[in-house]
Amino acid sequence: MSMSSVGRPTQPAAANSEVGFQSLSGGRGLLQDEPLLFELGGWDKTGVDLDEPEHDASDLGDLARTAPIGLAGLSEPETLRHYVRLSQKNHAIDLALYPLGSCTMKHNPRLNEKMARLAGFADLHPLAPVSTAQGALALIDRLAHWLKTLTGMPAVAMSPKAGAHGELCGLLCIKAAHEAAGHGERRRVLVPTSAHGTNPATAAFVGYSVEEIAQTADGRVDLADLEAKLGPDVAAIMVTNPNTCGLFEREIIEIARLTHAHGAYFYCDGANFNAIVGRVRPGDLGVDAMHINLHKTFSTPHGGGGPGAGPVVLSQALAAFAPAPWVVSGGDGFTLTEQDVGFGRMSAFHGQMGMFVRAYAYMRSHGADGLRQVAEDAVLNANYIKARLSAEMTPAFPDGPCMHEALFDDGWLEGTGVTTLDFAKAMIDEGFHPMTMYFPLVVHGAMLIEPTETESKRELDRFCDALIALAQAAKAGDAERFKTAPHLAPLRRLDETQAARKPRLTWRPEPITVAPAPLAAE
Ligand SMILES: *Cc1c(COP(=O)(O)O)cnc(C)c1O
C-alpha cells in the first residue's frame, strides 16, 4: 500500500491483488483512487478567473501575506469530481439496509425533502420579523402539539439539536427544579449498565456524579438494586425504554413510582421512541422528561454529525423550567416567547427548522394509524431478523420477542477464530454496513441489529441470507475470509484504535518553494 505525504494510505493495492488482478493506477472498476483535495490541486492553480486588482496602496503594512495561502486550486470539473468520487465511497441509507442498532437509520422519504425545500421554510432567516414567519411558527406549534399528544406530556422544548443535547436540556430542567425547591443537595444520577454512553456523559457534564444500576439476567433494570441506590441525594434516574438491549422495561411504572417516592425525577431516554410511538404514551408511564430524536423516530436524515433535532417533552412538574424560546398562539397569530423564565436557553435560536418540516411531513403523511404501524412494523421486522438469524447466531436474550432491535452475542463464534469485529468487516464485502458492535457493553461481543420499519421482507431476506452465509463460512473454518476483511472495500482493515486515539486531522503542505506573486503593498 502506498502512502501520501501525510502518511495516508492512497492505493487499494492489496484489495486489488486479493481478487487476482491489480490495476495500474490504483483505480477499481469505475472508482478512481482519491487523494486529498490539497494533494489533487496545486496551490498555484485557480479555478476562478478574476481580474488583477487595481494596485492601490495597501494599508496592511507588515501584515500583508508574503507566502502563498496554500489553498487547493482545481478547475470546476475537478472539484465536482473530487466530491462525487468521495460520495461514492460513502455508504448511505439510499444504497442498502443500514442495520445500526440504536442509531435507527431509516429511509428518509423524498416528500419530506420536498417540503423542507419550500423557499418559505428553507430561506427563512432566524432573525426574520415574527410577522413574516407566521407559517414557520405555525408549523413548529403544530409539531410541538403532536409531540405532546404522542407522548402524553404537557410541554415540549423544541430547540435542542440532537438526542444528547436533549438529554442535557432535560437534566438542566431537573437541576433547576430541584434548586427551585431548595434541593440542591441532590447530586447523584442513577443510570443502568446498558445505557447509551451519552446518558452518563450528560449527567457528568451537568455536574452530577453517576452511579450504575445493575441489570437482571433478562436484560432489564434490577429493581432491588434501584431501590437500594435511591435516596435523598439522588436527583434523577436515566432509563432508556425500550432499552438498548432492544427490550421493553416491563416494570417501568414501578421504576417511576420508586423514583418519585424518593423525590427524584425520571428522565427517559426516548431515542427508541420509534418502537412504541402510537402504542404507548411515556407520560402515562410516569416519565418527567424525555428527548425524542426526530432523526430516528420521525425519519429526518442523520449521520455525519447532524443536523439533528432532539425536542424534549416535559411533565407538569418540569414544564415551568423549560428553556426559551417557545411559540405562543394568540389573537394576533403566533409569537415567540424569549424571556428566560426556565433555566435559560439551549441555543441561540429556535431549533432545526429543516428537521421540523421533515418530521411534520412524516407525521402528516402517516396519520395516527400510520404512526402506530411504524412502531408495529419496526418491532415485527426486528423479530423477523431475530428469528431467522437465531438459526446460526446466538441471541443475547433468547426468551420472548424483542422490540425494534435484535441483540446477538458472540457465543456462536466460539472456536471459529473469528471475532465480532472480523464478522462485521466481512459484511462490508457482502455490500452491507456493519451492525452496531460491542454495544451494549453488558453483552459479550454484542451485535445489535436494527432494521427499522422501512425495510421490506425482500430486503430483510437479502440481509439475512448474507449474514447466514457468512455465519456458515465462519463455522466451516474459513477464518481467512474474516481475519483480513474487508477485501473488496476501497481500503482494507484500518487501525481503528490508532485512528481514534491519535486522529490526524490536519493536512500539512509540502514546503512551497516558488515565490508568490507580488502583492500590492510591495
Ligand atoms: C442515538 C441515541 C442517543 C443520542 O442521540 P444523538 O442524536 O446521536 O445525540 C442517546 N441515547 C440512545 C439510546 C440513542 O440511541
The CATH code of the domain that includes 124 is 3.40.640.10
Q: What is the DSSP string of 65-96?
A: --S--------HHHHHHHHHHHHHTS--TTTS
Whose cell is 483480513? That residue is: 484
- Element (DSSP H or E) covering residue 334: strand 333-337
23 in a structural domain = no
Cβ neighbours of residue 407 closer than 8 Å, sequence gap 6 or more = 101, 219, 245, 246, 395, 396, 397, 440, 443, 446, 447, 448, 449
Amino acid occupying residue 59 = D
* 3-state per-residue secondary structure call for 107-144: CCCHHHHHHHCCHHHHCCCCCCCHHHCHHHHHHHHHHH
The string over 139-165, giving b where at least 16 C-beta atoms fall within 10 Å of a residue's C-beta and e elsewhere, is bbebbbebbbebbebebbbbbbbbbbb
Mean pLDDT, rounded, for 429-436: 96
In the reported structure, the alpha carbon of residue 262 is separated from the centroid of ligand 1 by a whole-number distance in angstroms of: 27
Pocket of ligand 1 (CB under 6 A): 102-103, 162-164, 196, 198, 240, 244, 269, 271-272, 293, 308, 310
Name the packing angle between helices 353-389 and 457-475 (round to 10°). Answer: 50
Closest CA to ligand 1's atom 7: 163
Of residues 504 and 522, more confidence is placed in 504
In the reported structure, the alpha carbon of residue 203 is separated from the centroid of ligand 1 by a whole-number distance in angstroms of: 14
What is the distance between the alpha carbons of residues 189 and 137, in angstroms, rounded to a whole number?
Answer: 35
Is residue 361 domain-shared with residue 380, that is, in the same domain?
no
* Domain extent at residue 486: 370-490
Is residue 353 domain-shared with residue 421, that is, in the same domain?
no
Lowest mean pLDDT among 47-61, 68-82, 165-179, 446-460: 47-61
* C-alpha neighbours within 13 Å on the C-beta side of residue 111: 11
Grid coordinates given for 464: 439475512
Q: Is the pLDDT of residue 36 over 50?
A: yes
Mean pLDDT, rounded, for 346-357: 92
Give the full edge-to-edge strand order of the sheet including 394-395.
Answer: 394-395, 406-409, 447-449, 436-437
CA pseudo-torsion sign 473, 476, 480, 482: positive
Is residue 336 domain-shared with residue 386, that is, in the same domain?
no
Task: Look up the CATH number of the domain holding residue 406.
Answer: 3.90.1150.10
Strand partners, 255: none
Closest CA to ligand 1's atom 5: 163
What is the distance between the alpha carbons of residues 84 and 458, in angstroms, rounded to a whole number?
Answer: 30
424 in a structural domain = yes
In the reported structure, the alpha carbon of residue 285 is separated from the centroid of ligand 1 by a whole-number distance in angstroms of: 21
Provide the whole-model pTM.
0.89
Atom of ligand 1 nearest to the CA of 244: 13
Is residue 360 domain-shared with residue 394, that is, in the same domain?
no
Grid coordinates given for 342: 426556565
Residue among 196, 202, 449 whose CB has most ligand 1 atoms within 8 A, to mutate: 196
Q: What angle do CA 433, 438, 439 make, to 5 degrees?
A: 95
Mean pLDDT of the residues in the chain = 90
Grid coordinates given for 273: 421512541
Lowest mean pLDDT among 150-154, 203-207, 486-490: 486-490
Q: Is the pLDDT of residue 518 over 70?
A: no
Mean pLDDT, rounded, for 166-193: 97
Mean pLDDT, rounded, for 313-319: 97
Domain boundary among 365, 380, 411: 365
**pLDDT value for 509:** 66
Is residue 439 domain-shared with residue 348, that is, in the same domain?
no
Closest CA to ligand 1's atom 3: 163
What is the distance between the alpha carbons of residues 293 and 313, in angstroms, rounded to a whole number?
Answer: 11
In the reported structure, the alpha carbon of residue 295 is separated from the centroid of ligand 1 by a whole-number distance in angstroms of: 10
Cβ neighbours of residue 135 closer than 8 Å, sequence gap 6 or more = 120, 121
Of residues 179 and 513, more confidence is placed in 179
434 in a structural domain = yes
Whose cell is 465462519? That residue is: 474
100 in a structural domain = no
Is residue 427 domain-shared with residue 338, that is, in the same domain?
no
Closest CA to ligand 1's atom 1: 103
Is residue 264 domain-shared with residue 333, that is, in the same domain?
yes
Lowest mean pLDDT among 67-76, 122-131, 358-367, 404-413: 67-76
**pLDDT value for 13:** 44
Mean pLDDT, rounded, for 42-47: 72
Lowest mean pLDDT among 50-59, 70-79, 338-347, 455-464: 50-59
Q: Are strands 289-291 and 234-240 parallel, antiparallel or unpaired?
A: unpaired
- DSSP 8-state symbol, 166: H
Grid coordinates given for 117: 425545500
Domain boundary among 336, 365, 394: 365
53 in a structural domain = no
Amino acid occupying residue 73 = G
89 in a structural domain = no
10 in a structural domain = no
In the reported structure, the alpha carbon of residue 261 is separated from the centroid of ligand 1 by a whole-number distance in angstroms of: 28
**pLDDT value for 37:** 85
Closest CA to ligand 1's atom 6: 163
Is residue 267 domain-shared with residue 405, that is, in the same domain?
no
Is residue 350 domain-shared with residue 402, that is, in the same domain?
no
Atom of ligand 1 nearest to the CA of 310: 7
Tell the burial category of 94 from Cβ atoms under 10 Å away from its Cβ (0-12, 13-18, 19+).
exposed
**pLDDT value for 257:** 98
Q: Is the pLDDT of residue 22 over 90?
A: no
What is the distance between the alpha carbons of residues 34 and 24, in angstroms, rounded to a whole number?
Answer: 14
Grid coordinates given for 241: 425504554
Q: What is the pLDDT of residues 147-172, one digit of tens each?
A: 999 999 999 999 999 999 999 999 99
In the reported structure, the alpha carbon of residue 164 is separated from the centroid of ligand 1 by a whole-number distance in angstroms of: 6
In the reported structure, the alpha carbon of residue 292 is separated from the centroid of ligand 1 by a whole-number distance in angstroms of: 9
At residue 19 the predicted structure's pLDDT band, cuts being 50, 70 and 90, is low
Is residue 265 domain-shared with residue 332, that is, in the same domain?
yes
Of residues 213 and 62, more confidence is placed in 213
Is residue 120 domain-shared with residue 257, that is, in the same domain?
yes
* Overall number of domains in the chain: 2
Domain boundary among 325, 342, 365: 365
Is residue 138 domain-shared with residue 240, that is, in the same domain?
yes
- Report the SS3 class of residue 354: helix
**pLDDT value for 305:** 52
Grid coordinates given for 341: 423564565
What is the distance between the alpha carbons of residues 433 and 101, in angstroms, rounded to a whole number?
Answer: 11
- DSSP 8-state symbol, 48: S
